[in-house]
């Protein structure tokens, strides 16, 4: 049958999150001198680019708030930077529910940043549901890393 394959222009859709540093919490990068201020790497290494959520929850833990306080300050320092908050869920849910849950989580982050003075027009949200785990694996250790909101520099 003559079905046209989609010839959609491939805007670097996945690039942004795929090239993001793995996990700010590991504090891996040592040569922070080579990091460009105001970049995604700067955010991930020196501030923390993500917060984590409890099972089926979207409220912010004290740790998450501390991370977002630093993010808000950082965003005030780099006033021209705009970001997208990616909301994610672990794999232990149905697809549609997890899309909605990821959107809730992303908005929790956005609302907190807004309360800390980051203008809403600098912050977009997107939910990936369970589609893009940060850590591959079917253990609670992996799932807890995947229930997250990630702040991605546009």
Partner 1 sequence: MTTKTRLLLKLAGLTGALLLSFGVAAPQEARAELRIDITRGVVEPLPIAITSFAGSGGRDAQTGADIAKVISADLERSGLFRPLDPRGFLQTPEQLRTGDPRYQDWKALGAQALVAGNTTTGPDGRMKVDFRLWDIASAQYMQGLSYTAPPQEWRRIAHIVADAIYKRLTGEDGYFDTRIVYVAESGPANTRKKQLAIMDQDGENHQFLTDGQSLVLTPRFSPTTQEITYMSYFNKKPRVYLFNIDTGRQEVLGDFPGMTFAPRFSPDGNRVIMSMAQNGNTDIYTLDLRTRRQTQLTDSPGIDTAPSYSPDGQRIVFESDRGGSQQLYIMGADGSGVKRLSFGEGRYGTPVWSPRGDLIAFTRQRGSSFAVGVVRPDGSGERILSEGYHVEGPTWAPNGRVLMFFKDLPSGDGRGRNAKLYSIDITGANERRVITPLDASDPAWSPLIP
CA distance 84 to 151: 6
Among the listed ranges 14-22, 37-45, 64-72, 75-83, the one in contact with partner 1 (CB under 8 A) is 14-22
- Asked if residue 114 binds partner 1 (CB under 8 A), the reply is no
The position carrying tokens 């912050």 is 123
- Asked if residue 141 binds partner 1 (CB under 8 A), the reply is no
Say whether 51 sits in a helix, a strand or coil. Answer: strand
Q: List, as own/partner pairs, every contact residues 53-62 make where C-beta atoms lie below 8 angstroms and the sequence separation is at least 24, other chains included.
A: 53/105, 53/108, 53/147, 53/148, 53/149, 54/147, 55/90, 55/143, 55/147, 56/93, 56/101, 57/147, 58/101, 58/104, 58/105, 58/107, 58/108, 59/108, 60/108, 60/109, 60/112
* Nearer to partner 1 (CB atom), residue 6 or residue 30: 6
Among residues 3, 26, 62, 121, which is the contact residue for partner 1, using CB under 8 A?
Answer: 3
* Nearer to partner 1 (CB atom), residue 4 or residue 36: 4
Among the listed ranges 32-40, 43-51, 65-73, 121-129, the one in contact with partner 1 (CB under 8 A) is 121-129
- Asked if residue 149 binds partner 1 (CB under 8 A), the reply is no
Among the listed ranges 42-50, 61-69, 74-82, 85-93, the one in contact with partner 1 (CB under 8 A) is 85-93
* Nearer to partner 1 (CB atom), residue 35 or residue 100: 100
- Asked if residue 49 binds partner 1 (CB under 8 A), the reply is no
């Amino acid at each position: 049958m003559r079905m046209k394959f989609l010839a959609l222009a491939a805007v670097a859709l996945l690039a942004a999150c795929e090239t993001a540093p793995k996990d700010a919490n590991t504090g891996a990068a040592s040569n922070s001198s080579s990091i460009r201020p105001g970049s995604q790497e700067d955010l991930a290494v020196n501030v923390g680019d993500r917060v984590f959520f409890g099972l089926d929850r979207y409220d912010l833990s004290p740790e998450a708030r501390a991370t977002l306080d630093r993010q808000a300050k950082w965003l005030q320092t780099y006033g021209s930077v705009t970001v997208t908050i990616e909301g994610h869920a672990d794999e232990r849910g149905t697809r549609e529910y997890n899309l909605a849950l990821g959107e809730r989580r992303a908005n929790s982050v956005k609302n907190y940043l807004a309360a800390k003075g980051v203008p809403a027009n600098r912050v977009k949200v997107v939910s990936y549901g369970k589609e893009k785990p940060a850590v591959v694996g079917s253990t609670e250790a992996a799932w807890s890393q995947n229930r997250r909101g990630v702040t991605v520099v546009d």
